[in-house]
Structures are given as C-alpha cells and as structure tokens.
Structure 1
C-alpha cells in the first residue's frame, strides 16, 4: 500500500468508496489514495465521463490500453484490461495486449491506438500529420480531440498513482495469462 492514508471518516471519501465498491466490487489502492482529495477525484471522474461518453466505451478502453502501455502503467493496463474483458473477450484482450497491430482490430482502431501510444511516449514531436492519420482513418475533429484527451488523461492519472507509490493490484477477473499479456512488456 501507498504511504498515503485516506481519511475513513470523511463523508466525501466514503461516498467515493461506496461508488467504487458498487462498480468494481472492492476499493483499489489507487482509489483510496486519490480519494484523499475528493474534489480532485470527483473532477477526474467528471473529466472521464466528458471524454469517454462521446468517444464510446470500446474506443475509450482501447485508447486507455495503448496510452497505459506507452507510459508503462501496470496499474492502468490491469484495471482497464479488466474493464475491456466484457468488450473484447479473453482471446481478444490477450491479442490486443500482446500486439494490437495483429489483433484483428479495424485500421481505424489501430491508428487510434498508435496515436494514443505516441501521446504517451513522444508527444513533444507530434504535429498535424499525426492527427491527419486519424482524420484519414475516418475520425471527426471531435473524435480526434477526444482521443488526444483520453490518452493525455491516462498520462495524468497514471503518473499520479505511480508517483504516490500505489500498489499494483490484479483484478480478480484476470487470470494469470491475461495478467501476463497485459504487463509483461512494461
């Protein structure tokens, strides 16, 4: 566990814990740590909704998996691997985790994931050509902005939980093979 201690007597923190338990069945260490600042936690949740809702669940998760790989975030690869499991299935998730270029995704999805990975590894050299690849893959300007925001948001959250020494937890729905596929190359 992180050295950060979350106040258990705070009504705002308890509300965050209750929502998390309802959605995930438990309160991960990263939620416990980030709930120390409930206003920032709630703002994060609102930001996620503002980006993920128009982007769509599948695209949000694919962008998140690519961005988390780029930033080498085991936390987010595992958490979002679990969230992607109902969308992709075990075989699909395993394929995406090992090499999304060979996972049977559409060309547009691969372009989107390439963009998100690059945001996490080399954003300072990105230019209009990177966004143009997405436009040529059929994405609207709004979708391009949302893809960039989703990848950048993942960087924000991942860096914060890494910096705070949050324990990496493997969600119970991921077997050892899926866990390894998601984090072996990080």
Structure 2
C-alpha cells in the first residue's frame, strides 16, 4: 500500500493473521490485498466474509466472475484488480489473452452473446448505475441468465466497484507473481 502503512503480520489479530497465512500457503505468496486490507481488521473480516460468500455461493461460473471483475476493474482503472484477477481469469478460463482484452474493452473480446450481455450490464452498472432499469435486467434474462444469476452478476459488479475504489485510494500494487500466472510460460 503506497498511502497507508501496512501492518506487520505479527501485530494482527489471530484470525486475520491465520487467514493471511492460509492465503499465502495456497498462492505461494501473500497477495497484497490481504496485507493492505488488514489495515483495519474489522473491515478485513467483513470484506473477505462477503467475498467468500460471493465466490462460494455463485450461480455463475468462476470464469464468469473473473470476467466481470476484470471488466469492471478495467473501467475503473484499478491496476491491482486488473492484474490480480486477470491472472485468475487466465487460470479459470484457460484463455490467456481474454483478460487483456477485457481489461481494455470487453466489446473487442471474442465472447458469446450471453457473456457479452453480462459484461454490457457490468459496464452500465459501473458507469451509469442510475440507468439500470427493467430493460437492463430483462436483457440479461433474455440472454439466458436466471434471476439468481442476475443477482450474482450485480453482486460481483457492486462488490468490485467497492474493492477497486479502496485499492485506488490505498495505492495498492499487484504482486509481481500475478503478471505471469496463467500465461502458459
């Protein structure tokens, strides 16, 4: 974090420290978001509990979740989330170029009409939330998304608009490891 002091792992409450240690063990490095958001342990707990609920109880595919995150993060100019979730998208989709395409302009990516409708909605909710109306939701349903999937799409988009803004204010930078993950090199 460039604008706030990142707390030392040893100084954190046990549950926060244990979560960071678990994430470090699983990834092979400590993703900077965990260290940065530990700045306020009560917020860390709520942030990651909601994150886990979004991921663990999703009616859309994990690759679609990552597509939404990369698209929203690109719109919001959030370097951390574009790079970190770009890596996850490459891993979950098996399509190394897709993350780069979505980060710059989802309309230029090779997508199904269903997924294009999903990302068009994500763009609308991110840039012009006041313009989200019955027709915008109906477009998702017409593209084949169930009500639960529409809800999950909106939840991911809203959550990552929050995350992007926090990462930007904190000047959070991506770990070097994220740049090469999932590129097949």
TM-score scaled by length of structure 1:
0.83
Gaps of 5+ in 2: none
1:129 deviation in Å?
1.2
Query: What CA RMSD, in Å, does the superposition of the two structures yield over aligned residues?
Result: 2.1
Match of 1:112 in 2: 118
Q: 1:123 aligned to 2:126?
A: no
Match of 1:61 in 2: 66
- 1:83 counterpart (51, 74, 88): 88
Per-residue CA shift, 1:62-99, capped at 9, x if unaligned? 11111112212111110100111122322333444444
Partners of 2:18 and 2:39 in 1: how far apart?
12
Match of 1:161 in 2: 167
Matched position secondary structure for 1:43: helix
Change (3 A) 1:89 1:171: farther
- 1:16 counterpart (19, 28, 33): 19
Partners of 1:74 and 1:107 in 2: how far apart?
27
CA contact (8 A) 2:74 2:102 kept: no
Partners of 2:98 and 2:9 in 1: how far apart?
39
Matched position secondary structure for 1:81: helix
Aligned residues: 175
1:162 deviation in Å?
1.2
Structure 1 stretches of 4+ moved >4 Å: none
Match of 1:183 in 2: none
- Using the TM superposition, name which of 114-123 and 12-21 deviates more: 12-21
Change (3 A) 1:67 1:94: closer
Match of 1:6 in 2: 7
- Using the TM superposition, name which of 39-48 and 65-74 deviates more: 39-48
1:29 deviation in Å?
3.0
CA contact (8 A) 2:32 2:175 kept: no
